[in-house]
Structure 1
Amino acid sequence: MSVKNIFAWNVHGTGNIEPGGVVAPDERLSMPITLGIGMQHVIAMFGGVFIVPVIIGFPASTALLFSGIGTMLFLVLTANRVPSYLGSSFAFIAPVAAVAPLPQGQSTLDAGSLAIALGGILITGIALAIIGAIVHFVGAGWIREVMPPVVTGTIVAVIGFNLATTAKNQFTAAPWDAVVTLVTIVLVTVLFRGLVGRLAIVLGVAAGYLFALARGGVDFSNVRHAEWFGLPDFHTPTLTAEVWGLFLPIVLVLVAENVGHIKTVSVMTGTDLDKYMGRALIADGLSTTLAGAGGGTATTTYAENIGVMASSRIYSTAAYWVAAAFAVLLALCPKFGALTASIPPGVLGGAGVVLYGMIGVLGARIWVQNRVNFSASTNLLTAGIGLILGIGDFSLTVGDFSLGAIGVGAFATIIVYHVMRAVSRRRRTDPDLDSASPEQQADGPLLEPTH
């Protein structure tokens, strides 16, 4: 497909959306409507994109810049046929916190710690791109064979619950700030639906920030001195094999998220997008690699933007170009980056309790949606062993190579599952691993997209 054809959207009807109408990925509406839908995608992705760098101490403007650039790269490599926004990945919070913990009372990492974390992000992006190339030429069937729902659900749960200590440390730094943030998030989620409900995290952080401001707990000195326009802060990575064991297991989650995203969008649009699965993985891998090379957070496909498409029934990739362009423009405002960096630790702790808990429970949701049969000993032990190893913060060190709790939990989950399955099949014990039929298991989504 030529570049000219990639950027040639068909105008949908008269350029307006009729009641009940559906706008396909290769179509667009009139420019004012396209801009409006694009801004909806900006609002949907913004909370996740900026909260991740703030929590781990990365420069928020830099993360936003690579998020926009990564989305553009994704759209080009998937020939503008897979509507998706690449935002900051929550899966990397745990390994970054392990190798570069944010010092108590500080909002940003020092250059050395940040460089080490970026090295881990970069190597994970390369690994994801390699897997994408394999999927492109071989197919994706082997992914589900290696990572069935009981495995992916356990790994996602481990990532979320492993962060409980991080949330506690931030929470106790300023408990009242954290409580105000947490209560606001809960109330907004319960009381509101639609767009406001989707922005519960952002509104909770805003409420906690204002409370901290009222009691004098916010330092505005960097905000006052920051320029309105300028390039964000770029940083170079430090590659050290000692931390690779902490980061590389996350590639399993990124694969699952991308595959789940492709499957979900295929169902929504009524189009088989499996042929773009390898390209999507390559694009996300390259986007993450690029972010790691320059100082941004790792990226992944965002479920929030799927919500916008589900409500509007507008799947036009033109709207995603609008969102990506706006992200790049906003990243060129250093004052915005300084403002996000001034968010107090207690506020982040309140948000962290919600976010980390949600990530953990998403793992359980994968089990439920795929009807994993926990009366089967193989599934029960696979999940149980992986969870305890990950949540209990077990680690493994061999020479200079170190494998953190998430890595230990992830690889143990995969190994236990496949060893037990092989033995049980050979001896014909515990054969019923899934309550769903083989046909349902083959057709169902590997994993709903999360971040």
Structure 2
Amino acid sequence: MVAGWTKHGDGKTLAPGEVVRPDERLSWPRMVGFGAQHVVAMFGATFVFPLVMGLDPNVAIMFSGVGTIMFLLIVKGKVPSYLGTSASFVGGVLAIRALMGGDTPATDALVTGAILVAGFVLALVGVAIHFLGVQIINRVFPPVVTGAVVMLIGFGLAYVVADIYWPQDQWIALITMTVTFVIIVLFKGFIGRIGILLGLIIGFVLSWGADRVFGNITAFNAGTGAIDTHPRVSFEGVAAADWIGLPSMHFPDFRFSAVLLVLPAVIALVAENVGHVKAVGEMTRTDVDPYMGRAVAADGAATVVASAFGGSPTTTYAENIGVMAATRVYSTAAYYIAAVIAILFGLCPKFGALVAATPGGVLGGITVILYGMIGLLGAKIWIENRVDFSDPVNLVPIGAGIILAIGPVKHMISSDFTLEGIALGTIVVVAGYHLLRVIAGRGGAGGGAGPKEVSELRREVTG
């Protein structure tokens, strides 16, 4: 159901054990409150990840709303979910920037062009799942492969922290990391879930204070690519930005070598979407398998639309699934309201300029946590599926692929085309695993005791 929600009871209260189903709602003032809560839940990750990828946070926020509406329409209102910015593309995007010119308009276009193609591929995978059944994914990407891809996406970004963010302000990075540790671990409720966002805010304020107390810093400047003296925080862009207006959009450009660098993220997104949709089905006590393909295709379509205008890739968010579990309100009306709020929020360029002013040292303290947690979630998938690493078919290609990603190792295909890091590692993991199974004469997918949904993936990545 996409509209025309039935009022649940008196529209005010829930009796013990009752839930508000996707096609129901409470009173509209209460639904606005629930919608705003969903915006708060997704907000931290949805603007942090575009910032890390060098994309406009305002565009990401706005198209998260557009993508969520698209998702709800495509799944016919059967799977309540919010689409926020995906972390899975960070490694590929940073590799594109490293190889093709850094933070320039031309590189931005190549980045969003590559993301658009990956979104199209994800949409095609969704169509295949819809017609062939979700079991096809488990055959091509068994737990040993999925876990490896998730791990190398995280650990393959270690060089970004070491070479780009941390050197910009090592002490602010260390303090930001420590403060974020404490918030995530010490606070178990809502505060803990937005620990990454709070850590970023605290680091931002500390950087501004350090400018006032100690003056400008002499360190690596990502903007110039050299060591110079500069302020940690500059509000020039904020002052120049308008309060109301369209965010800074651009159209994509396409290059095969760039596309190849982000395609590994599709594997992680399929696993993530399947896990999240399964989790929603369990909470709403409904069979969502008939809508699994639609959900994956909807995420891909949302990514295509967002990147066509310079936005970030999308994915279903476990943070919002957590909000539903806590409130027992699964109404899609709350998500439509959240989407509209996000679209309106994206129409404030001054906010986007403020986010873009986040110091590199602060990002160093945040990303070292994010990337590490993403990597360890790959190990979590292995453990939950009892992957047998005494089997060389599992051990050999997985180990080799991870090392290639962490390096990051470069492999020259031609004078103008190089496979590197995460892309190279993913190819070795997927192709190597299936090749060795053929050589060993084994049937089936193997690689674990069976598929284990990773419904906590995004939530654990972002606190």
Q: Does the pair score TM above 0.5?
A: yes
Say if 2:137 is the partner of 1:143: yes
Partner of 1:358: 373
Q: 1:186 aligns with which of 169, 181, 185?
A: 181
- Assess if the C-alpha contact under 8 Å between 1:245 and 1:404 holds in 2: no
Partner of 1:310: 325
Q: What SS class does the counterpart of residue 87 from structure 1 fall into? A: strand
Partner of 2:265: 250
Q: In the aligned structure 2, how far is the partner of 1:93 from the partner of 1:213?
A: 27
Cα distance, 1:192 vs structure 2: 0.7
The answer to which of 412-421 and 77-86 deviates more is: 412-421
CA separation of 1:337/1:446 partners in 2, compared to 1, >3 Å: closer, same or farther?
Answer: closer
Cα distance, 1:396 vs structure 2: 3.4
Cα distance, 1:449 vs structure 2: 4.3
Say if 2:183 is the partner of 1:175: no
The CA deviation string for residues 186-228 of structure 1, in whole angstroms up to 9 with x for no partner, is 1111211111001100110111100111122210111112111
Q: What SS class does the counterpart of residue 403 from structure 1 fall into? A: strand
Q: What SS class does the counterpart of residue 117 from structure 1 fall into? A: helix
2:346 partner amino acid: A
The CA deviation string for residues 211-252 of structure 1, in whole angstroms up to 9 with x for no partner, is 111122210111112111111111111111121210122211
Partner of 1:196: 191
- Assess if the C-alpha contact under 8 Å between 1:132 and 1:280 holds in 2: yes
Q: 2:209 aligns with which of 199, 209, 214?
A: 214
Say if 2:7 is the partner of 1:11: yes
Partner of 1:96: 93
Q: In the aligned structure 2, how far is the partner of 1:244 from the partner of 1:175?
A: 33
Q: What SS class does the counterpart of residue 91 from structure 1 fall into? A: coil
Matches within 5 A, 1:253-402: 253-399=268-414, 400-402=416-418
Say if 2:42 is the partner of 1:45: yes
1:424 partner amino acid: A
Q: In the aligned structure 2, how far is the partner of 1:340 from the partner of 1:137?
A: 42
Say if 2:119 is the partner of 1:111: no
- Assess if the C-alpha contact under 8 Å between 1:133 and 1:279 holds in 2: yes
The answer to which of 241-250 and 120-129 deviates more is: 241-250
Cα distance, 1:378 vs structure 2: 2.1
- Assess if the C-alpha contact under 8 Å between 1:376 and 1:432 holds in 2: no
1:161 partner amino acid: F
Q: In the aligned structure 2, how far is the partner of 1:72 from the partner of 1:41?
A: 14
Partner of 1:411: 427
- How many equivalent residue pairs? 435
Q: What SS class does the counterpart of residue 315 from structure 2 fall into? A: strand
Q: In the aligned structure 2, how far is the partner of 1:383 from the partner of 1:264?
A: 28
TM-score normalised over the length of structure 1: 0.92
Q: In the aligned structure 2, how far is the partner of 1:184 from the partner of 1:288?
A: 33
2:60 partner amino acid: A
The CA deviation string for residues 350-389 of structure 1, in whole angstroms up to 9 with x for no partner, is 1010111111111111111222222323222242122112
Q: In the aligned structure 1, how far is the partner of 2:33 from the partner of 2:348?
A: 22
| Deviating 4+ runs (over 4 angstroms) | 101-104, 446-449
- Assess if the C-alpha contact under 8 Å between 1:366 and 1:448 holds in 2: no
Cα distance, 1:416 vs structure 2: 2.2
Q: In the aligned structure 1, how far is the partner of 2:34 from the partner of 2:386?
A: 35
Cα distance, 1:394 vs structure 2: 2.3
TM-score normalised over the length of structure 2: 0.89
Q: In the aligned structure 2, how far is the partner of 1:432 from the partner of 1:376?
A: 11
Q: In the aligned structure 2, how far is the partner of 1:363 from the partner of 1:318?
A: 34
Cα distance, 1:47 vs structure 2: 0.6
Q: 1:61 aligns with which of 58, 61, 85?
A: 58
1:70 partner amino acid: G
Q: 1:424 aligns with which of 426, 437, 440?
A: 440
Cα distance, 1:393 vs structure 2: 1.5
Q: 2:154 aligns with which of 147, 150, 160?
A: 160
Cα distance, 1:32 vs structure 2: 2.0
- Assess if the C-alpha contact under 8 Å between 2:377 and 2:457 holds in 1: no
Partner of 2:24: 27
Partner of 1:445: 453
Q: What SS class does the counterpart of residue 300 from structure 1 fall into? A: strand
Q: Which consecutive unaligned segments of at least 5 residues does structure 2 have?
A: 212-231
Q: In the aligned structure 1, how far is the partner of 2:325 from the partner of 2:22?
A: 13
